């Protein structure tokens, strides 16, 4: 019974973890009017992909242009040219 419960909780945890992806990107530019960052993935599943990330709060993104940052996006995959929302930093 205990093994079955542990297995069930593992599956449930896996299901929730697939909704977000933690990635490292280099910020190429920032458009403050729309809150859109143009970035290039620098590691992991998104390495080399050019993407647009939407920041809901300004969070001084303009000061990060040219730097690498780690962000959590609202998807479990990356596509070159894709647009994603930033869930956290």
Query: Taking the alpha carbons of 82, 43, 72, 60 in that order, is the dihedral positive or negative?
Result: negative
Region of 42 please: left (phi>0), alpha (psi -120 to 50) or beta.
Answer: alpha
* Beta partners for residue 36, in sequence order: 31, 54
Check pLDDT > 90 for residue 82.
Answer: yes
Which band of pLDDT confidence, cut at 50, 70 and 90, is reported for residue 44?
confident
Q: Locate tokens 């930033």: which residue? A: 86
Helix (H, G, I), strand (E, B) or coil at 19: coil
0.85 exceeded by pTM? no
> Does the pLDDT of residue 24 top 90, yes or no?
yes
> How far, CA to CA in Å, does 29 sit from each of 20, 56, 61?
23, 16, 9
Domain ranges across the chain: 19-88
- The first and second tokens of residue 59, run together, are 């969070």
At the topology level, CATH places domain 19-88 in OB fold (Dihydrolipoamide Acetyltransferase, E2P) (2.40.50)
> Tens digits of per-residue pLDDT, 47-73?
999 999 998 887 788 899 999 999 999
């Amino acid at each position: 019974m205990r093994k079955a419960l542990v297995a069930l909780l593992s599956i449930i945890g896996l299901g929730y973890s697939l909704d977000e992806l933690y990635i490292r990107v280099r910020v190429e530019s920032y458009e403050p009017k729309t809150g859109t960052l143009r970035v290039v993935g620098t590691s992991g599943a998104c390495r080399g992909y050019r993407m647009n990330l939407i920041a809901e709060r300004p969070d001084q993104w303009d000061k990060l242009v040219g730097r690498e940052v780690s962000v959590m996006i609202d998807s479990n995959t990356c596509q070159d040219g894709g647009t994603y929302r930033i869930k956290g930093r």
